[in-house]
A and B are shown apart, each in its own frame.
Chain A
């Protein structure tokens, strides 16, 4: 039995895709200056809404669109708190995570009588998401570094006062990309549901946070972030196969251990947007 097989890479792609979606979303919002640790909860909301709509309408397409809307809504909520009401970005994100975790238990119980899990519901082919992810990342790379809109996005996160002087509405740009982050997290959640065919409350399982880590490793750039996500997925797929040879306690920690090691190596030279996490005040210094 060989470890390196086509199945290994297919498994790695499936494991990496939700991470890559989150990493891309977080790249957009952090470049504009907004930290969103609520990505974990937003992805869970995406999965939950996909399950609910797919179950009651039987339409996976409608379910996907609803998940995007749910992600956008949570992005809007985060932007309202963090950008306009100037709340601490991390606190607002944690609030979203708690809100969705509680809401998921509550709504599954109300709707299906099972706390935390949904019945099976109509799905679409999860490989559509894998392809879409690569496409979006490619487009984002061009958008951010080759278009005037991308330049505006970056300057808002680097030097909001300069952007403001140039006539850019800083807060509106931040709102826009925070919502886009929510939409991409909704997409990640929708993939997770379509891959399993059922919602469970632990299904995001830290992939949102690892998405943020992938973005840091990718140095706030879409393509390198995608590579980081694929690397993580590959190590995770590899550890499953290694369980046949080494004790599972060791192989299970491999992806996380490598994330920490790689992060430690990259963190020093990351070009963090200078205004990251700072609310923008026109009169501020």
Chain B
């Protein structure tokens, strides 16, 4: 019994020494779409990686010692990973990416009350979780404005990953943006199709072709890896069919399609992840709901990449797109952004 007690004490001391070094540790659990979507997941990773690199330099240790990440293959894997990281008690903060992690986190987080968690894109109402949400409809509205002005057929489309509230809000923003910019577009002229998966670009391409063939000439992709299929579909008829990316300037992240991507919505997930990690390390981290977007306390986090120069930073910024967007369209986008900011444009969403 004594031996056990001594051993336990020894382990605690070793643990304290390791903690005494004060090197923070970060865990990142990505969404099921996984890295390589050149959009949402990759951007989350960049935010965490940036924080890890700065911290590694500050503490003089290799990045690997600070930063761990996992790519769950399915929703069923989330709980295991969340518990595995939390159980060690070593991590300063555990970052969970994706709306579908929130309900699981609501079960897991109360079991580890001293562990700080962050969840992106949905709210988990637990005292040790910070929930970061974005006004996705703002990014989508601006993309809708570009689509509405660019279309020659007065018909546009959106490819969604799944028919869920998060993606429906994208659609609501996109549809209202297109109609605000172009009165010839009626609600039924804004098509929407859902892939049912975030990592099935083959089906994404077929669905996009179907919308293009039905007369839509601009398609906005909000489907993770699946909407790489939108770009592939647009390439089948370049100069006639166009695409809009999501979350990251996809003319930059998929440069081979910079000839068909006219714009990309921006959602600064990287900024949110980076900020939350740094707050946890500095000791200023607080649980609760944090909103990013144009109409929020922070007034940052959403926008659009379109045109060759920054028109209205940080909301309307330059894109790597090779397509020449006329000045009058850009002016209208800036007008829309200003309207959202000052409240003259109100985007309805669920």
How many angstroms between the C-alpha atoms of A117 and B232 in the bound complex? 14
- Chain A residues whose CB sits within 8 angstroms of the CB of B163 once the complex forms: 247-249
Chain B binding surface, main DSSP class: mixed
| Total chain B interface residues with beta-carbon distance under 8 A | 35
CB-based nearest B residue for A5 = B213
Given A1-B214, A252-B196, residue A200 in contact with residue B225 (CB < 8 A): yes
Q: How far is the CB of B212 from chain A (nearest CB, A)?
A: 10
Q: How far is the CB of B248 from chain A (nearest CB, A)?
A: 12
In chain A, positions 181-199 with a C-beta closer than 8 Å to chain B are 192, 195-198
A interface, size bucket? 35 or more
- Which stretch from B14-22, B33-41, B87-95, B308-316 is at the chain A interface? B33-41
Contacts A117-B36, A120-B256 known; list 9 others, CB within 8 Å. A7-B213, A114-B38, A116-B34, A117-B38, A195-B202, A200-B199, A203-B202, A205-B203, A243-B192
- Chain A residues whose CB sits within 8 angstroms of the CB of B257 once the complex forms: 120
12 pairs, A vs B, C-beta closer than 8 Å:
A11-B210, A114-B35, A116-B34, A117-B225, A117-B228, A197-B232, A197-B235, A202-B201, A203-B201, A205-B202, A240-B207, A247-B163
Q: How far is the CB of B49 from chain A (nearest CB, A)?
A: 12
How many angstroms between the C-alpha atoms of A65 and B37 in the bound complex? 28
CB-based nearest B residue for A195 = B202
With beta carbons under 8 angstroms apart, the residue of B200, B201, B206, B235 that contacts A237 is: B206
Given A196-B229, A200-B225, residue A244 in contact with residue B201 (CB < 8 A): no
Q: How many inter-chain residue pairs (CB < 8 Å) link A and B?
A: 95
In chain B, positions 227-259 with a C-beta closer than 8 Å to chain A are 228-229, 232, 235, 254, 256-257
Q: Is the CB of A244 within 8 A of B232?
A: no
In chain B, positions 189-217 with a C-beta closer than 8 Å to chain A are 191-194, 196-197, 199-203, 205-207, 209-210, 213-214
- Chain B residues whose CB sits within 8 angstroms of the CB of A7 once the complex forms: 209-210, 213
Q: List residues of B whose CB falls within 8 A of some A CB.
A: 34-38, 42, 71, 73, 163, 191-194, 196-197, 199-203, 205-207, 209-210, 213-214, 225, 228-229, 232, 235, 254, 256-257
How many angstroms between the C-alpha atoms of A199 and B36 in the bound complex? 10
Q: Is the CB of B228 within 8 A of A200?
A: yes
Q: Is the CB of B256 within 8 A of A119?
A: yes
Q: Is there a chain B Cβ closer than 8 Å to A20's Cβ?
A: no
- Chain A residues whose CB sits within 8 angstroms of the CB of B196 once the complex forms: 248, 252
